Every structure is written in C-alpha cells, then in structure tokens.
Amino acid sequence: MTDLEAVRTAPGTVASRRAWLGLAVLVLPVLLVSMDISVLFLALPTLTVDLAPSADQQLWILDIYGFLIAGLLITMGNLGDRIGRRNILLAGATVFGIASVIAAFAPSAGVLIAARALMGIGGATLLPSSLALISSLFSDARERAAAIGVWTAFFAGGSAVGPIIGGVLLHQFWWGSVFLINIPVLLILLAFGPFVLPEHRAGVLGPLDLPSAILSIGGILPMVYGIKHAATEGIDAQATVIALIGAVILAVFVRRQRQLDEPLLDLRLFGRAQFSVAIGSSLAGMMSLAGMSYLTSIYLQSVTGREPLAAALLGIPMAAAVFVCSMSGARVGHRLGARTTFVFALLASAVGNLMLLGVGVQSGLWWYLTGSTVAGIGYGLAFTLVSDVAVSSVPPARAGSAVGISETSFELGNALGLALLGSLAALIFRSGGDYAATLGETVQRANGNAALLESARASFVSGMHIAVAVGATVLMAMALIARFASPAKR
C-alpha cells in the first residue's frame, strides 16, 4: 500500500490527523519562500556597507531570486507531476538550505547574487509541489478548501512579516542572519517530510518536454526583467527590447503547446471560464497589491519620515486581514459560489485602494490603515480562491502544472504592478517640478529647503493617488468580468 493510499484508507481520525500534520510541514517552506522575497529590504543598507555592491549588483541581489522563481514555476510544477511531488519538494528544500548558508556568509556581491539565484531555483520547486500535495493529503473538498486557506495565509503572511523579522534580526545580528533563520525550518521539513507527506507522481504522463521548458524560461525571464527594469529605470529602449524578446519567445512557446499531446502548459485549462477568471483575478489582484505596497512604503518613510521598521509595523493590520481571510476564502467560495466570492473580493480590494485617496502629506494615516485593511480582506479571499480553483479544476495528475500557472500569474502580476503603477506614479511625481528621479533622492538633495520638500512630497502623494486609483479601476473591471464570465452555479 502506498503512502497516499494509507492516508485515504485509514480511519477518519487517524487520516485527518496525519493529513493536518502534513499540512503543518508543508506551510514551512511556503513561509520561507515568500518571506525571502521581502526580507532583504531592510538588510540592504548594512549589506551594502560590508560587500560594496555596485548599483546594478544591488538590483540583482534583490531581483534574481524573484526572476528565477517566476521563470521556473511552470517547469517545476510539471516536473513534480512526473518525478514525484514529495521528491522534488525535499530536493528543493535541500538546495534552498545550502544556498541560504552560502548567502549568509557570502564574501562578495557576486557570490551573494549566485546564492540568491540558487535560492530562486529551490524556491520554484517548493511552491507548486507543496500546494499540489494538498490535493493528495485532502480528498474531501471542504477539508481541502480549509487546507488551501492555511497554505495561502502563510504564503501571503510571509511577504508581510519578512521586513518585520528582518528588522528584528538586524537589531541584534549581522545581515547574514536573515538567511540563517531558514536552516532550522528546513531541517524540520527534511526530517518529517518523508514520513508525513504522501508521494504522488503521474504515471500516465510522458517525459518532460525540454524544448518547451527552455522556451518557457527563456520567455518569462526577459518579460519579467524588462518589466522590472522599466519600474526602476523608466521605460527605455533596453526594457522595451528585452520585453519584446520575451514576448516573441512566449509566442513560440504557446504555439508549440498547441501542437503537443502532453504540453507543458495545458492551454485547454483556459477554456474553463472559472480557471481563466481565477488567473485574471490573481494578475489584477497582485498588480494592485504590489503597486499599493510599494508606493505606501515610500510614503510612510519619505513623506511621513518614519524609520523602515516603524513603516513595516504599520503594515501589520493589512497582513492580519490577509492572513485571517485567507483561512476562510476557499470555504466562503464553496458556500457562496466562486463567482460571487470573486466579485466581492475584487470589489473590496478596489474599495480599500480607493480609500487611500484620503491620505495626504500631513494627515491621513487612518485612511491608510483602514484602506489597506479593507483591501487585505479582499486580497485574502481572492488569492485563496485562486489557489483552490487551480488545484480543483484539474485531475490530480496535473495539479502541479495548474498550480505552476497560478503561481506564475502571481509573480507576473507583482512585476506588472511595480512597473506600470510604479512608473505611472513616478511620471506624475516628476511632472510636478524640478525633482530628482525619486522622492528619496529629492529629500537627500534638498539641503533643508522646506518649500522644495513640501512640494516634492505633495507631488509624490498625487502620483500615488492616481496609481492606486488605476489599480482600483483594474480590480473593478476584473470584478465585472468575473460577474459575467463565471458560471453561476456554486
């Protein structure tokens, strides 16, 4: 009898206990992967003093991790379907742990970039395999919905608590400590994973199509790089050319998928209205969330003058709202229907973004706290339902592939939010006067010029208002699509 059969045939209480213990092990790597996206935000200044990275190296230290996760999710999800999801999960955890140690003691910026790249490769195996394994642990739809809610809560919570944990560690230790906290968590996963997690592989699937895998990575990486380059440096020839190259490669990739009997990306999934609505909701939701989080972080530090840790602490209400609502999002979807839940969640997120229009240069902190919390309710419900739809809409043999698609949409939405909404806010800011490229640089160069500082801060707030209003408009448009494109049945 296989591990999976044992879970499903054992008496209810024993099976349930083992399944929930397995879930407890699965959420550990998810927390780490999401946390490591943001944990370096506060560590970068002290890291820069020790390693003296160039401006380009600083960007690569921050971005190479997310680039490789985005580029490899679909491939790793499919690979897990074929070689075993538990196998690839444990292998990825080992790679992630080794890379974390190298990063913690990196003697140079180049070594740190390489270690972060290796962490990205490991992280890309952890996300789709951990979520896909939930379908193996929980055969009951209601229990699976609750488990996916827990998974999403830890995934969303990790990126929110990353800066807070980083700030606490940096008060006591050196910058490498933000990587070493991964080790004890991964050791728990490696010790208990083989005993509490069922193995699952799809024996009916053929070997992984390597040309498709190469085209997938070769298309997504330039697209994400071009978008993020546009967000940090503005839309220029380099960003445009690189993004176009990625788009052409992705077009070739899509054409190849239509011709294969066992494609890496099953385009037939998008023929299911609910799956397409879920992917669109994750793109719209992450786009608005990334833009809002990025701009309000600058607002709290450069406009209100708060320290990074104090700014991060003000994000706790939204993080708590996302965490709590993620726990119940899939269950709400099963009770009210996916269509109603998606519409409500997207509209709540839009309302929360629009409430940020009450934020001003000298006042409006309560508008930020209330608006971000309301938006967090919507994001928590929507993101959990996206994960539930991704797992539930395909046969168990293709769960890893479907999860890879949904997680890639989250990464692309994040990149689009930073690039499009961040660039829009920057454009409005710079059009308000003779300022430096960013508000932070303008504040540094102002030399106490109170009139210039007040004008620059007001201009940034105007840009932030327009950007979050555009994000809210995208959310409302997606809510309309969800209302009329999704099936009405529960």
Residue 100 structure tokens: 């974390």
| Tokens, residue 146 | 């609750």
Q: How confident is the model at residue 298 (pLDDT cuts 50, 70, 90)?
A: confident
User: What range defines the domain where residue 213 resides?
Assistant: 209-263
Residues 181 and 77 in one domain: yes
Residue pair 51/112 in contact (Cβ under 8 Å)? The answer is: yes
More confident residue, 189 or 371: 371
pLDDT of 1 above 50: no
Which one is predicted more confidently, 219 or 273? 219
Among 204-208, 210-214, 391-395, name the most confident range.
Answer: 210-214
The pLDDT score that the predictor gives to residue 22 is 82
Residue ending a domain, among 263, 281, 308, is 263
pLDDT-derived band at 7 (thresholds 50, 70, 90) equals very low
Angle at 28 between CA 168 and CA 338, to 5 degrees: 110
The total domain count for the chain is: 3
48 and 130 housed in the same domain? yes
Question: What digits encode the pLDDT tens for the residues 367-403?
Answer: 999 999 999 899 888 888 887 776 666 665 565 666 6
Higher-pLDDT residue of 92 and 308 is 92
pLDDT over 50 (residue 280): yes
Q: Are residues 377 and 408 in the same domain?
A: yes
Q: Which of 86-90, 206-210, 389-393, 440-444 has the highest mean pLDDT?
A: 86-90
Same domain, 230 and 100: no
Structure tokens at 216: 């997938």
- 168: how many CB neighbours lie within 10 A of its CB? 16
Question: Distance (Å, rounded) from C-alpha 114 to C-alpha 112?
Answer: 5
Chain-centre distance for alpha carbon 3? 31
Q: How many other CB atoms are found less than 10 A from the CB of residue 195?
A: 11
- 326 and 447 in a common domain: yes
CA gap 49, 60 in Å, rounded: 16
| Tens-place pLDDT, residues 415-474 | 778 777 877 888 888 877 777 767 777 777 777 777 888 888 888 889 899 999 999 999
**347 has a pLDDT exceeding 90:** yes
Q: Which two tokens stand for residue 70?
A: 């985005």
Distance from CA of residue 184 to its chain's centroid? 23
Query: Angle, to 10 degrees, between the axis of helix 109-137 and the axis of helix 399-416?
Result: 130
DSSP 298-310: HIIIIIT---HHH
Q: Cα–Cα distance between 331 and 384 in angstroms, integer?
A: 9
Query: Residue 473's pLDDT is what?
Result: 94
Residue 232 identity (one-letter amino acid): T
**Is residue 235 located within the same domain as residue 274?**
no
**Where is the domain boundary, 263, 296, 328?**
263
Q: Give the contacts of 5 (CB within 8 A, at least 6 positions apart).
A: none
Query: Does one domain contain both 323 and 392?
Result: yes
* Averaged pLDDT, 80-96: 82
User: Do residue 33 and residue 56 come from a single domain?
Assistant: yes
Residue 137 has pLDDT above 90, yes or no: no
* Over residues 5-28, mean pLDDT: 63
**Residues 281 and 430 placed together within one structural domain of the fold:** yes
Same domain, residue pair 284 and 255: no
Q: Which amino acid is at 8?
A: R
Sorting pLDDT into bands at 50, 70 and 90, what band is 221? confident
Indicate if 344 and 407 belong to the same structural domain. yes
Per the CB < 8 A criterion, the answer to whether 170 and 46 are in contact is yes
Query: Under DSSP, is residue 53 helix (H, G, I), strand (E, B) or coil?
Result: coil
- Find the CATH number of the domain harbouring 455: 1.20.1250.20
pLDDT confidence tier of residue 68, bands split at 50, 70 and 90: confident
**Final residue in a domain of this structure, among 263, 286, 303:** 263
**Enclosing H/E stretch for 127:** helix 109-137
Q: Which one has a higher pLDDT value, 54 or 482? A: 482
If pLDDT is split at 50, 70 and 90, which confidence band does 38 have?
low
Q: Can you tell me the distance from the alpha carbon of 333 to that of 326, in angstroms, rounded to the nearest whole number?
A: 11
Q: How far is CA 427 from the centre of its chain?
A: 25
| Residues 6 or more apart in contact with residue 256 via CB below 8 angstroms | 211, 212, 215, 263
Place of tokens 């209810």: 12
pLDDT for res 397: 58
The answer to whether 479 touches 342, Cβ cutoff 8 Å, is yes
Per-residue pLDDT tens over the stretch 152-171: 777 776 766 666 776 677 66
Query: Are residues 233 and 319 located together in one domain of the fold?
Result: no
Which two structure tokens, joined as six digits, stand for 335?
């009770």
Q: What is the pLDDT of residue 466?
A: 93
Q: What average pLDDT does range 16-28 have in this prediction?
A: 80
3-state secondary structure of 25: helix
